[in-house]
Structures are given as structure tokens and as C-alpha cells.
Chain A
Amino acid sequence: MVTVHSGSRAVPSALSPLPLDAWLLDLTAAAVSLPNTASPDLLGDGLARLELIALHFPKFNDGRAYSQARLLRGRMGYRGELRATGDVLRDQLPFMLRCGFDSFEKADPPFGEAVRAAATLFSVVYQPAEDNRVPAAELRRLATAGAMAAAAAVSLG
């Protein structure tokens, strides 16, 4: 039985995503499944009405959906549910969370704990992504700027 596990989203959508071809014929549907060879640009104006987009991993090592997710979140401003389907393994979860996925379809039942653990596995990130975590270089810059401001305040005081 396939279960949907939530990342940051409280309750995953109960909608069944339409295959892209079907959705393009019925743009009022609020859930679509995008093959990993399709450009997110195909969603066009219909994107604003979508509540759920499912992105597919035919094999865990086929990473095209990571780029689709980042384009949807970062470039196109999509804020609805972004679900990873297919070969979703716990060791890929930290990457998926950073790319903006917030729900995960998985056949094996004990997976919710893995999703929770993945969010805190790494306390440091080195690059900006779709999770708004602050990269190490920026933290260092802020710390230096803060120290300089404090020093300036002391010398002024």
C-alpha cells in the first residue's frame, strides 16, 4: 500500500494527480503529475490553480525532478504541495527537502520517522536552495558584520 508522508505540510492532499496529458485537457483540475522529462513551463497559467504537483523519480539515481522542483519553487513561485513519487528512498530525503518537496509517496509503512530525521540530519548547508536555510558563507558574513557593528558601537559609546 502506498502511503503519503508529509514533510513540512500538516496534511497531504487527498487529490489524485492527473497525468500531464489529461491535465492539459482539463486545466481546472487542481492536481497534476509531471513526468521528469517535461518542463515545468508546460503548466503555464494553470499553475496558479494547482494545489498538488507530483514529480517522479523512476529510479532514485535519476535526479531530473530535483531541478524541476527548484524551478517550480524558486523560479515560478509555486507554493502548493510538491510530492515526490516513485523510487523515494530515505537517503535522498535531505536533498528532496532542500529542493522544496514537502510530501513523499512510499510503499513501505515505516517512513514518517525517516522524513522527520532527514530534516535535521545536517545542521549546516553550503548553498541557497528552496528551504530558506542560510548557507554557511552567509552566516559567516553576518557574524563578521555583527562583530564589526558591535565593535563600532563600543568605540562610539
Chain B
Amino acid sequence: MPDSYFYRYDAHDRALVAERVAQFRDQVARRLSGDLTEEQFKPLRLTNGLYLQLHAYMLRVAIPYGTLTSGQLRALAGIARRFDRGYGHFTTRQNLQFNWIRLEDAPDILEALAAVDMHAMQTSGNCIRNVTADHFAGAAGDEVEDPRIWAEIVRQWSTLHPEFSFLPRKFKIAVTGSPRDRAAVRVHDIGLRLHRDPAGAVGFEVIVGGGLGRTPMIGKTLRDFLPREDLLAYLEATLRVYNRYGRRDNLYKARIKILVHEIGAERMRGEVDAEFHALRGTALRLPDEVIDAIARQFAAPALAARPARSEDVERLRARDRAFARWLAANVTPHRVPGYAIVTAALKQLGAPPGDASATQMDAVADLADRHSSGEVRVSHEQNLILPWVPLDDLQALWRALDALGFADPVAGRIGDIVACPGLDYCALANARSIPLAQRLSLRFGDAARQQEIGELKVRISGCINACGHHHVGHIGILGVDRNGTELYQISLGGDPEAGSTAIGEILGPALTEERTIEAIEAMVDLYLATRVAGERFVDTYRRLGADPYKEKVYGHRA
């Protein structure tokens, strides 16, 4: 049996994707010939990831649970060169967007994706979207089970689901296998958190009705412990309740979070349970051998035994402060002694967060082959992750990433800004997000200062659809339009992690870009002056409350 540590398509998966490409080629031809109206074509192109944006079509490629092989990353680079302007944008949902696509080329692009076992299915539209998971899955030391096993099972079940392809609204599912929730499961339509019951069996906490957007809500736990064999029956029950009773009269009240909010968690649980009891034990039950067959595909790569400590790394750490800062910010301890997880920060000074050129993608693919068993992950913080790096390779990898501009020691820091494409690209945006992100990262560009500030999640959305996840930023920034002027509303105290999930609170009236930057600088100074040992920015805010921050920002206006 070939060495396999990520899901490989078999003949069934390949046939389905090929047939889907053929179907879409026919649909595009019918659109171009006028057989289909734009209104009829729109949902068809959307469920194939194709949006019509401000200047061109945008194609959103699915990267299920953020896992890529080096070969797939090279194929994405090739598509960027051949069909786009030589770059792509990694998104907050672990996907990749090409921003300059011609409709006529879309079927050929999908065919190029299919050649490397990829697709763009269900990256848009009112269906179950591409499923997301912890980007450190399989490599993190703290997980109960690899969440990608379950994300892949959900991916297959949700693909071309005949009952749930015309839901009231889009539907996002996230899976985490770790107590340190890196998948933000409480702010998804359904969040699945793997854990063990007292007897040691693995199952799920099922969280329903979370979400960001214009009505941010934290999901409710409908099940504390769902046995793993029942996962699909419970998902199907939940989706059926939503498909039947979710609101369709108002686009902005159509997400499942509104249904849960309006009928209450108790009634929602009752409705889902009634459906679940009828579906449980039917063909939706997951037999152990089906779970195990998928699980085997995610077995770790063959990693040679290595010393838990690298003397080379320690010597350089003591000697080179830049390397030490990079280790502190961008290198995460691994489950396996002698290895590390490396974050390649796609947060270059002066570049849009999450952007990578074709050349950079190819280079990261090469680095993955050399240092990370040929695998790359995409994080929802819009970075690339190399999950299987021997400690002795860190120095070489650091230098190579530095040459690409991906070694800024920013992971989790103020320079690790998450931002949506904003008004520069998006038809929905009210304000630009990328220029603000760029100016902020320039203002806080000094690595020593970033290290002093420590963990601080800044997230920027260009409109209330909240693609930049501003509600769960320690500092969240929302772009608004006031009579044609782009202003920014600051919120504080948001947190995406399951144990402490919080929606940020609005600080006060929206500010100009210039004053937003000044305000953040002033609030960071306040934090540095008032923090007690071990406190992060968000901890100090929770202890002090909003008043001192309001005073700093609005109190001394000239």
C-alpha cells in the first residue's frame, strides 16, 4: 500500500469531479449561447465557485480542510500564470481565489484542477460549503483525533447532496479535534468539536447556529456528545430542519442562526432530535470500517526518529535575534519529538494579506517537498503552514522563507492581520480593507515591538458580511460608508476560540483610516502601560473594560 498521509481520490472521486466539469462546460456553453439567462446561470456558476465581481469573474477553489500537496500547490500556481494575473489569494475559509478570470476559461480551469484531484464545487451558493478544519490537524500535540478524517467524511456526504443544494442560505461546517480550537467552531452554522466521553469513546460536541455576518451569534450546543457513527444522521437531521423551516423571506434572516435564535435552542434541539431518531441507524450510519478506511488515509507520514532538541537551532537562537523572534512567533511545537510546525506568513509588508504569486507558490511547494513531506496547509488566518518540518531543517527553511518574504515573525501578532478583499475587488464591500491592513502592518512593522506586544489578532472586514471575521478579532475593524466616505468602526474583545468565544464590542463612532491607525496605536500603548504579567491585549481589555480605551480614542479630541 502506498505511503499516504492525506486523502487521495479514488476512481469514484475522480469520476464525479470529471462529470461535474463536463456538466459545467455544457452550462457555460448554454450561457454563452443565450440558452440560459444570467438569473438561471447564476446559481449554477456559484455552486462551481464562480462569482461576478467588480472587474472580472472570481473563481474560488476549494481546498478541503486546508490541506494541499506540493503538486496541487504547483497546479494552482500554473493556473494563476495561465488564466489569471500570476497570483492568487488565500482566504479566511482556507480556500484560494483567482480574481481575474474569464467566463470562457472557467471550464478549462476546472479541468486543470480535476487533473490534480481538486475542484471548486460548493465554494459558493446556498449549499453546504467547503468544510474547514484545524490547520495544525495531525501535527498538533493536543488533539483527540485528526479532524480531517471527519472533515473528509462530511465533504463527501455534502458533495452534490440532492436535498440540500438549495438551502435558504449558505451553510458552513467546521471541525476541530483539539481543545485549543483553531477552527472557530462556535461561529459556524455547525461546529463539530471532537472529544472523549468518560468511557474514552470519541464523539462530537455539536454546536449549531453560530455565525458572523451582520448578526453575529455564538452557536448553541445541541449535543454534548454525539457518538461518531451517528454524525451523518445528525447532520442530515439538522439540515433537514433548516431546509424546511429556515426563513426564505429575507436574505438577511435566512441563516440557521436566525432560526435557532427565533425558535430557541430548546425547540431546535427537539426538532432535530425528532428527525435524528428517525434517521439514526439507517444507511447514514457510519460503520467502523468506513471510518477506519478514511482514517488510514490520514496516518502521519513516515517520520525518521530525531533528537527532541536540535543543537544547531539552539546555537542560532542564542546568536541571532531575528531567528529567535521567528522561532517564537512562527514555529509551533509538534506532536512528534524532533519536528516542528512552521507558519509561512503571507503578510508581507505592503502586500494584501493572503496573496501569493505563482512564483511564491511554486517556491513553497519546493520547500514542502524538501522540508515537510510534500504537504502544505492553508490556515484561516490566511497563512501557509508546513506541518512536518524536522528541527534540523529550521534554519535552512527560515532563510528560504525569508527570501520569499514569508518569514516575518508575525504569526498571531499584530502584523498577522486578517482582511477580506474589500472594495478593491468585492462588489459587496463598503470600504477598502487591504490599504488599511497594509498601513497598519507598516506602522507596526518593527519585529521587536511586535514581539513585545505579543498575541493580538487584528481582523478587518470591508462590509457587514464579515468575511474578514472582524467580530472575533481582539481588535476588529469594520469598513463602513458614510455619504461616500470610507470610515472604520473599531470593536474590541472578540475571540474565535471555542472555550472563550466572544463577539467584540463596538468602541464608538467610526473613524477615518488615519484616525483608526492612531487609535490602534493609542490602545496598544495603553495595553503596554497597564498590562500585568502574562496578559495578552485581549486579557487586559477584559480586565479593564472598554472605558479607558474609549477615553484614549475619543476623550481627548482636539
Contacts and interface: CB of A to CB of B under 8 A. Distances in A.
Contacts of A95: 160, 162-163, 165-166
B126 interface: yes
A137 B290 contact: yes
Nearest to A145: B289
A35 interface: no
B243 A64 contact: yes
B8 to A, nearest CB: 13
Contacts of A60: 40, 43, 166
B166 A122 contact: no
A126 B16 contact: yes
A63 B165 CA distance: 7
Contact of A66 (B40, B166, B282): B166
Contacts of B10: 140
Interface in A58-74: 60-64, 66-68, 70
Interface in B39-97: 40, 43-44
B164 interface: yes
B165 to A, nearest CB: 6
B512 interface: no
A91 B45 CA distance: 11
B531 interface: no
A129 to B, nearest CB: 5
Contact of B12 (A92, A98, A136): A136
Contacts of A137: 156, 290
A91 B15 contact: no
B162 A140 contact: no
Contact of A67 (B156, B157, B244): B244
Nearest to B127: A63
Interface string B1-40: 0000000001011011001100100010000000000001
Given A66-B163, A67-B243, A144-B289, A61 B126 contact: yes
B284 interface: yes
A67 B163 contact: yes
A62 B248 contact: yes
A125 B16 CA distance: 8
Nearest to A122: B19
Contacts of B44: 91
Given A121-B23, A141-B290, A141-B293, A129 B162 contact: yes
B12 A139 contact: yes
Interface in A124-142: 124-129, 135-141
Contacts of B43: 60-61
Q: Which has the most chain B C-beta neighbours within 10 Å: A70, A98, A99, A124?
A: A124
Contacts of B284: 127-128
B166 A141 contact: no
B159 interface: yes
Contact of B243 (A63, A91, A96): A63
Interface string B124-143: 00100000000000000000
Contacts of B278: 75
A62 B166 contact: yes
Nearest to B243: A67
Interface string B165-196: 11100000000000000000000000000000
Nearest to A87: B40
Contact of B160 (A61, A70, A126): A126
A89 B43 CA distance: 12
Contact size range, B: 35 or more
B160 A123 contact: no
A5 to B, nearest CB: 18
A53 to B, nearest CB: 16
B293 A144 contact: yes
Contacts of B248: 62, 64
A110 to B, nearest CB: 11
A144 B288 CA distance: 13
A91 to B, nearest CB: 6
Contact of A63 (B16, B159, B166, B283): B166
Contacts of B12: 124, 136, 139-140
A112 interface: no
Contacts of A70: 163, 240
Given A66-B243, A124-B12, A141-B289, A99 B126 contact: no
Contact of B40 (A63, A89, A127, A135): A89
B232 to A, nearest CB: 8
Contacts of A98: 162
B325 to A, nearest CB: 46
B128 to A, nearest CB: 11
A70 B162 CA distance: 10
B130 to A, nearest CB: 14
A144 B287 CA distance: 13
Given A128-B283, A140-B293, A144-B293, A121 B19 contact: yes
A94 interface: yes
B15 A126 contact: no
Contacts of B160: 94-95, 122, 125-126
A126 B157 contact: yes
B165 A64 contact: no
A67 B162 contact: no
B156 A136 contact: yes
B223 interface: no
Nearest to A124: B16
A124 B163 contact: no
Nearest to A95: B162
A141 B15 CA distance: 18
A62 B497 CA distance: 34
Question: Across chains A and B, which 8 residue pairs bring their CB atoms closest together, nearest first?
Answer: A63-B166, A98-B162, A128-B283, A136-B12, A124-B16, A95-B162, A126-B156, A66-B163
Given A95-B163, A122-B16, A128-B283, 20 more contacts: A62-B166, A62-B248, A63-B126, A63-B165, A63-B167, A64-B243, A66-B162, A66-B165, A66-B166, A70-B240, A92-B166, A97-B162, A98-B162, A99-B162, A121-B23, A123-B16, A126-B156, A136-B12, A137-B156, A141-B287
28 contacts: A60-B166, A61-B126, A62-B166, A63-B165, A63-B167, A64-B243, A66-B162, A67-B244, A70-B163, A94-B160, A96-B162, A99-B163, A122-B20, A123-B19, A124-B16, A126-B158, A126-B160, A127-B156, A127-B161, A127-B232, A127-B284, A128-B282, A128-B283, A129-B162, A138-B290, A140-B290, A140-B293, A144-B289
